[in-house]
Structure 1
Amino acid sequence: MGYLLQGLFGERSLTKVAGLFAQQSQAETSMAQMLRIGGLQAGQVRLLGPQDARASRRDLFARSLEPEPRGIARTFFQTHIVVGAAGAVAGLALFAWFYNAGHPMIVSSPLLAFIALVGFGTTFGMLGGGLLSMRPDHVLLITKVRSALRHNHWAVVAHPTSAEQAARVKEVLQGHSAEVVSTL
């Protein structure tokens, strides 16, 4: 499943895991343990503090939570192409099914029916691709991290590249009694 998602999305790290802490020392300790035990590299883990929630540092905050802008652009195009093509194939399959069944509206004007069914299938597929490219699963994580930082808490945000890394990161964060929030 992970391989299929990696082909659909253009980012290396599909999952984001954040641990929310009341104190800076707890956050730093868990970050160090994540790098040691979790198998992550330094670029995959970010420490965010209350100062990062300020408006003047919005760009830094955005890069800390979504560090792959090129991957996001690739995700945008790949999801639209793949899911749009899947919608076109579904429209074509629906047309073939109706045509073989001898449905009167399809048999009477097959070209218009073909254009309509494949066109609507492609359109709905592209809409689905747009929904996937917005990454609705990231909204909850970003909202919780931003809220915690505004309430003078600390956050450790990890960008694991595999399911094993994500599981190890969650174990480390839960071991430090952090509130754990993750995507996908």
Structure 2
Amino acid sequence: MGYLLQGLFGERSLTKVAGLFNQQSQAENTMAQVLSTAGLQAGQVRLLGPQHAYAPRREIFSRSMEPEPTGMARTFFQSHIVFGAAGGVLGLGVFAWFFRAAHPMILSSPLLSFIALVGFGTTFGMLLAGLLSLRPDHIRMITHVRSALRHNHWAVVAHPVDPTQTEKVKAVLEREASEVLTTL
């Protein structure tokens, strides 16, 4: 399943894991543990403090939470192509099923029925892809981390690239952090 999702998404890191801390020293120590224990590279783990929530340039916070903007663009295009095509094929299947069943509405106007069913299937597939591209799980995490930073907390945000790294990061953060947040 993970392999299929990796093919659909353009990002290397599909899961984000964040740990919230009350003190900077706790966060820094935990970040070092995550780097050594989970086998992540330095670019995969970010330390965010209260100053990042109020930084005049919001790109600092955005790049820390979502470091792969080109991967996000690939996710947008790939998901729309895949889900749009799947919706079109599903619409074609519905048309064929109704046509073989000799449904009177389909038989009275086969071309318009074909266009409508395939068109609606493609449209709904692309709408689903748009929802997937919005990444509601990431939005929830980003909002929660930003709120914690505004209340003078610290955050360690990790971007593991496989399930093994994800489990190791979660284990370290669950031991050390006051709160742990994860995305899909």
- Bucket of the pairwise TM-score, normalised by the shorter protein: over 0.9
- Measure the CA separation in 2 of the matches of 1:163 and 1:178: 23
Q: CA deviation at 1:177?
A: 3.6
- Measure the CA separation in 2 of the matches of 1:102 and 1:23: 70
Instruction: State the match for 2:125 in structure 1.
Output: 125
Instruction: State the match for 1:163 in structure 2.
Output: 163
> Aligned pair 1:99/2:99, yes or no?
yes
Q: CA deviation at 1:55?
A: 4.0
Q: In structure 2, do the counterparts of structure 1 residues 39 and 138 end up closer, same or farther at CA, with 3 Å as the change threshold?
A: same
Q: CA deviation at 1:139?
A: 1.0
> Aligned pair 1:112/2:118, yes or no?
no
Instruction: State the match for 2:23 in structure 1.
Output: 23
- Measure the CA separation in 2 of the matches of 1:126 and 1:94: 17
- Measure the CA separation in 2 of the matches of 1:96 and 1:163: 41
How many residue pairs were aligned? 184
Structure 1, unpaired ranges of 5+ = none
Partner deviation per Cα, 1:111-168 (whole Å, 9 max, x = no partner): 1111000000001111111111111110110011000000000000000001111111
Partner deviation per Cα, 1:38-63 (whole Å, 9 max, x = no partner): 11110000000000001413110000
- Measure the CA separation in 2 of the matches of 1:176 and 1:15: 19
Instruction: State the match for 2:10 in structure 1.
Output: 10
| Aligned residue type for 1:33 | Q
Correspondences of 1:37-52 after superposition (within 5 Å): 37-52=37-52
* TM superposition score normalised by structure 2: 0.98
- Measure the CA separation in 1 of the matches of 2:64 and 2:92: 43
Runs of 4+ in 1 over 3 A off after TM superposition: none
Instruction: Please tell me whether the aligned partners of residues 21 and 27 of structure 2 are also in contact (alpha carbons under 8 angstroms).
Output: yes
Structure 2, unpaired ranges of 5+ = none
